[in-house]
Structure 1
């Protein structure tokens, strides 16, 4: 870690910030406040912030639609939907949207959680049961899904408890995934073209490494193939080397409960971090007034690959 690393708060706090996505086309960061059903847009160059409220259910992910101006794929409960934000620089309320896929029909308590597009523009998104934290768990009720270009939906991984953190190696041969309730960062062999994963294995076990009861949440990858993981409860981002299966670096932030990370900025060398006020007592909130904000980390000497928009026909 160098003395040049800087952590700064860049947005006001929300209740449960999640799902950051950097739009290189707009130079803007999108993220969600899950249970308030809001999609947020932060534009650093103009220091502006706007919000889209989506009626209908928890909103856990947001990804722009490729080739469709002001259109976004969002989750609404157990549905994946396309919404239109006519002017993303201004606040709005959305009451109508196009549902492109619905999942887990027999599990009404389920909802989508984390989701991200691969380099083909296919959306990988997972569900979870109605639960708070791994200790208050209804296990194995979720699945990891793939939304294809034709809006078809398929199960990539069954019996997931809390679907989180997704990333792919630059050569597309490895898929990284976090089931938060397993307290592990895991890897799979990936047949990328045919969208198949196999050979599940553990890269980093929070229990064995002494981080329990804290757990891994959102995750991203840099151009050197290192994984950057938001470690909920630790107030730290951990940089894990998949080759050595060890933490190479860590960055401390002024909020305990960090939820997700993504690369952004003009050179994709800024790490944006979402956080939450969830599970914090009144005393903790007084000590952590920035909890729930988005943070920007600069000076890391690392950078990411561009986030991919969603390519789906509906």
Structure 2
């Protein structure tokens, strides 16, 4: 196994939301408070970006063209070539929140959650005023889960019957029964609860992805690690450490989907931390894990004309 720094200091603030686009063999990711969507081409090492007018929590491609992104409190469609941004929905009027992580389910719906717009230094103390939303293929939006602290990682089992979801504030990962035909979720259970564990060792669970064995690879913020968890027991099966303390998310990519791309953050990192970990905010790639991921899902709904 090898850990490689692909782009040094790729993110000026919070690198997040990596998504491998196997149509173009490029990696999409965001830099939240730099208001930027990045597109990295491993063949050419080109890292292009679009800068928008507010924070960008996530980005996913749309099958019919362009990208769906969480920008501030809005879900938008972005045309990469023309830079045109079209607002689809705005949420949580009167609340100081913003969109954070988001992903598509196997049927092509977009699931995206919110959190406080100005995070508190003590993450468990953050107000749980966020929600998890689902953008359906007909363009309608529904609020699915309320009382969320920091809406984060999302993933679906290969049989389509389970959805996994992380709320970073209580340091928990959940499993829901998932109905593929309707997108309804119910019967929440806890996969793991790290609330009583050491932060330097276990951090705060953040973004995640599943491998083809059904295990969850979870970035644990403040721990320097991405951990592989058994989704049945929550047990840590494997751990990969990085020369950066603030690991944020991960996805499988590469032409064989056997390389793990990992984003990191430097947002509010003190000077002493940056001296000790100068690669904070970098984009990393892990090879030789011996596992593969699935092709990432795209939004299958209609897009604005």
Same fold at TM > 0.5: yes
Q: Hey, what does 1:85 align to over in structure 2?
A: 80
> Which among 74, 98, 112 is matched to residue 111 of structure 1?
98
Q: Hey, what does 2:294 align to over in structure 1?
A: 305
User: 8 Å contact 1:64–1:309 — kept in the other structure?
Assistant: yes
> Which among 121, 133, 149 is matched to residue 108 of structure 2?
121
Residue 102 (structure 1) aligned with residue 90 (structure 2): yes
Q: Offset of 1:133 from its aligned partner? A: 4.6
Tell me, in whole angstroms, the C-alpha distance in 2 between the residues paired with 1:242 and 1:59: 29
> Which among 57, 60, 66 is matched to residue 60 of structure 1?
57
Is the partner of 2:34 in helix, strand or coil? coil
Q: Hey, what does 2:255 align to over in structure 1?
A: 266
Structure 1 gaps of 5+ residues are 88-93
Tell me, in whole angstroms, the C-alpha distance in 1 between the residues paired with 2:197 and 2:231: 15
Tell me, in whole angstroms, the C-alpha distance in 2 between the residues paired with 1:35 and 1:230: 19
Q: Which deviates more from structure 2 when the two are superposed, residues 233-242 or residues 136-145?
A: 136-145
Is the partner of 1:35 in helix, strand or coil? helix
Residue 160 (structure 1) aligned with residue 148 (structure 2): yes
Tell me, in whole angstroms, the C-alpha distance in 2 between the residues paired with 1:247 and 1:303: 18
Residue 11 (structure 1) aligned with residue 7 (structure 2): yes
User: 8 Å contact 1:111–1:127 — kept in the other structure?
Assistant: yes
User: What is the aligned length?
Assistant: 299
User: 8 Å contact 1:264–1:270 — kept in the other structure?
Assistant: yes
Residue 74 (structure 1) aligned with residue 74 (structure 2): no
Q: Offset of 1:232 from its aligned partner? A: 0.4
Q: Offset of 1:211 from its aligned partner? A: 4.1
User: 8 Å contact 2:126–2:169 — kept in the other structure?
Assistant: no
State the 4+ residue runs in structure 1 displaced beyond 3 angstroms.
Answer: 208-213
Q: 1:159-238 maps to which residues of 2 (within 5 A)?
A: 159-211=147-199, 214-238=203-227
Q: TM-score, normalised by structure 1?
A: 0.91
Is the partner of 2:57 in helix, strand or coil? coil
Assess, with a 3 A threshold, how the Cα gap between structure 1 residues 133 and 257 changes in structure 2: closer, same or farther. farther
User: 8 Å contact 1:84–1:97 — kept in the other structure?
Assistant: yes
Structure 2 gaps of 5+ residues are none
Q: Which deviates more from structure 2 when the two are superposed, residues 97-106 or residues 151-160?
A: 97-106
Q: Offset of 1:208 from its aligned partner? A: 3.6
User: 8 Å contact 1:74–1:81 — kept in the other structure?
Assistant: yes
User: 8 Å contact 2:170–2:195 — kept in the other structure?
Assistant: no
Root-mean-square deviation (CA), in Å? 1.5
